[in-house]
Amino acid sequence: MSIAILTSGGDCAGMNPGIKHFVDHCFNHNIQPYIIFDGLEGLIDGDIKAATHNDVAGIMHEGGTMLRSSRSKRFFEYEYRKIAFENLQKHGVDKLVILGGDGSFRALNQFYKDFGVPFVGIPSTIDNDIFGTDYCLGVDTALNIIRGATDAIRDTSASFRRGCVIETMGRDCGYLALVSAITCGAEVCVIPELETDLDSLAKKLKNQITLGRKYIVTVVAEGTKKTQELVEWLEHEVGIETRATILGHIQRGGNPTVYDRLMAVEFVTYAVDKLINENSNEGLVIVYAEGKFEFVTIDYVNSNKYAIKQNLLDMAEDMTK
């Protein structure tokens, strides 16, 4: 038995700790680990290598993925998937671990249906938008980066009596913006999952400015596409000079937090053990839900849309109206 690991789609902090532990854990079970570079594209191009401890030494603290990543259009075509399968056969690799999002899992699920290569997917995306899991690798690091940036921007906003609009990533999911707004003490939170009453907020904020408020922190999810609208609203309706900051890809990089490192190790341990000990012959995703790890099918992950827990949404009530 030989197992290979690859990273696919958007990178995130925690991937490198996961890759390192994968190699170490395989060797501890006397199994030769393989690493695949450049994601699904590398699988097609045959960029596959038998891993050594030296390949992954010193990467625990590094953000991103040393294996690099890609978004592959070619993998959607059968002829290229066949080439990818033949490349695995050349190296004797018969099972896979993939760190990525639901799109990557769907791609490998089709690969499994075509050629019967079992795999375990590890949810790895700062968007935290995969159904069936409460947590995806990389989220804690992203939140800490947003927290640091928001705290710094608040400092300068207070110095100039300004408003600030901070745009977070997350695609159509407002999880990053919501949790950041709650934990950074924002005055306004705008996410796709909640209605925002700007008229009510404007009255409240104008009154607070009259009573001495020096700044206003607004956190907005990119999926709302309302960043510039909020800047204009703060300036014209609330009456405070405002600057916008789009955090962008800074949220995907950076030194992984202790929590993301620990979660990477736990995710990978369960994934490899599943492939080794239970002779798994299907495509599975390992999820973390209600405080425990479990395996679910790709069909289950695709059966519904991720929803932010109601108790978190309730905490944002004062920031939306």
Catalytic residues: 127
CA angle 212, 217, 219 (to 5 degrees): 160
Three-state SS for 220? strand
The DSSP code sequence of 295-308 is: EEEHHHHTTS----
The residue type of 49 is K
φ and ψ of 246, to 5 deg: -100, 110
Residue 123 tokens read as 């949810």
Bridge partners (DSSP) listed for residue 5 = 35, 97
CA dist., res. 282 & res. 298, Å (int): 10
CA dist., res. 144 & res. 254, Å (int): 10
